[in-house]
């Protein structure tokens, strides 16, 4: 399965968004609302702030749904290995590369991490889709 990637670019920066990874933490638009505008069709405006400000905000994305692409490599939530953080009443945030093996034997690699469902209600298992926010999950 190919992951959907939407790119927003200007001459200085390219922001990539992977909607299937997004857990709707709202951190991007609450902290940098002039760039991340969820009610707009083109919801990322890379011309609305300096590239370093956008890069700093993208690096705060807890799910890895947002990343920065440059000519030589991609930059997202950086870590020097794979780390798993359990979010209170939310997903397990994996930071770093992982390979998921499904019951049927197929594998899927996530190079920069992902958010894994802990509540059991995600329609996109094993990935989080934000269902924990409305089903009363505690943990």
Q: pTM for this one?
A: 0.61
For residue 107, is pLDDT > 90? no
Cα(112)–Cα(64) distance, integer angstroms:
7
Q: DSSP characters for 29-81?
A: HHH-TTTB-TTSSS-B-TTSS-HHHHHHHHTT-SSS-EEEE-SS-EE-S--SS
Q: What share of the chain is helix, strand, coil (3-state, %, to 5)?
A: 15, 25, 60
Helices H / strands E in the chain, number of each = 2, 9
Query: Mean pLDDT of all residues in the chain?
Result: 86
Domain ranges of the chain: 6-75, 83-133
Of 6-15, 39-48, 63-72, 115-124, minimum mean pLDDT range: 63-72
At 48, is the pLDDT very low, low, confident or very high (cuts 50, 70, 90)? very high
Topology at the third CATH level for domain 6-75: Alpha-Beta Plaits (3.30.70)
The average pLDDT across 58-65 equals: 85
């Amino acid at each position: 399965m190919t992951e959907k990637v939407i790119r927003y670019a200007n001459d200085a920066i390219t922001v990539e968004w992977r909607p299937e990874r997004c857990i709707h933490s709202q951190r991007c638009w609450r902290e940098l609302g002039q760039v991340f505008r969820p009610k707009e069709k083109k919801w990322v405006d890379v011309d609305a702030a300096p590239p370093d400000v956008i890069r700093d905000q993208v690096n705060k994305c807890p799910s890895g749904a947002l990343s920065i692409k440059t000519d030589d490599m991609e930059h997202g939530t950086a870590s020097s290995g794979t780390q798993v953080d359990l979010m209170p009443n939310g997903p397990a945030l994996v930071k770093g590369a992982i390979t998921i093996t499904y019951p049927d034997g197929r594998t899927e690699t996530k190079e920069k991490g992902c958010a894994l469902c802990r509540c059991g209600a995600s329609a996109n298992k094993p990935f989080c889709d934000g269902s924990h926010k409305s089903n009363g999950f505690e943990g």
